[in-house]
Structure 1
Amino acid sequence: MAGTRAKRGEYAKTAERRHQILSAATEVFATLGFHKGSLRDVSERTGLTQAGILHHFPGKSDLLNGVLVWRDEQSRERFDEGLSAGGLRTLRTVVDLIQYNQTTPHLVELYTTIAAEATSTDHPAHEYFQRRYAWAVRTLREALEQAAAAGQVAPGLDCARAARLTVAVMDGLNIQWLLDRTSVDVADDVRQHIQSLLTVEL
Structure 2
Amino acid sequence: MTITGKPRGNYAKTAGRRREILEAGIEVFSAGGFRSGSIREIAERVGMSQAGLLHHFANKNELLAAVLELRDDLSREYTTGEEEDGLETIRGLIKLVEYNSSVPGLVELHTTLSAEATAPDHPAHEYFVRRYVWVSSFITAAFERMKAKGQLVPGVDPEAAARGMIAIMDGAQVQWLLDKESLDMAEETRMFVRLLITVDL
| TM-score normalized by the length of structure 2 | 0.93
Deviation at 1:198, TM superposition (A): 0.6
Contact residue 26 and residue 67 of structure 2 kept, 8 A: yes
Matched, 1:173 2:172: yes
> Where does the alignment leave 5 or more consecutive residues of structure 1 unmatched?
2-6
Deviation at 1:184, TM superposition (A): 0.5
Deviation at 1:80, TM superposition (A): 3.3
Give the distance between the partners of 2:81 and 2:35, measured in 1 at CA. 35
Paired residue secondary structure (1:58): coil
Aligned to 1:51: 51
Give the distance between the partners of 2:123 and 2:61, measured in 1 at CA. 6
Aligned to 1:110: 109
> 1:82 and 1:201, CA in 2 relative to 1: closer, same or farther beyond 3 A?
farther
Deviation at 1:70, TM superposition (A): 1.0
Deviation at 1:136, TM superposition (A): 1.2
| Corresponding pairs, count | 196
1:10-21 matches, within 5 Å, as: 10-21=10-21
Aligned to 1:86: 85
Give the distance between the partners of 2:85 and 2:136, measured in 1 at CA. 13
Deviation at 1:82, TM superposition (A): 7.1
> Where does the alignment leave 5 or more consecutive residues of structure 2 unmatched?
2-6
Given residue 95 of structure 1, which amino acid in structure 2 is its aligned partner?
A: I
Q: Give % identity.
A: 51
Give the distance between the partners of 1:85 and 1:108, measured in 2 at CA. 28
Given residue 156 of structure 1, which amino acid in structure 2 is its aligned partner?
A: G
> 1:82 and 1:192, CA in 2 relative to 1: closer, same or farther beyond 3 A?
farther
Deviation at 1:84, TM superposition (A): 2.8
Aligned to 1:128: 127
Deviation at 1:83, TM superposition (A): 6.2
Give the distance between the partners of 1:67 and 1:161, measured in 2 at CA. 30
Aligned to 2:190: 191
| TM-score normalized by the length of structure 1 | 0.93
Aligned to 2:136: 137
Deviation string 1:123-163 (CA, Å, 9 cap, x unpaired) is 11111111111111111111111111111111111211111
> 1:176 and 1:32, CA in 2 relative to 1: closer, same or farther beyond 3 A?
same
Greater share of helix: 1
Give the distance between the partners of 1:82 and 1:39, measured in 2 at CA. 33
Deviation string 1:16-42 (CA, Å, 9 cap, x unpaired) is 110111111110000000001001110
Deviation string 1:147-191 (CA, Å, 9 cap, x unpaired) is 111111111112111111110111000000001001100001100
RMSD between aligned residues: 1.5
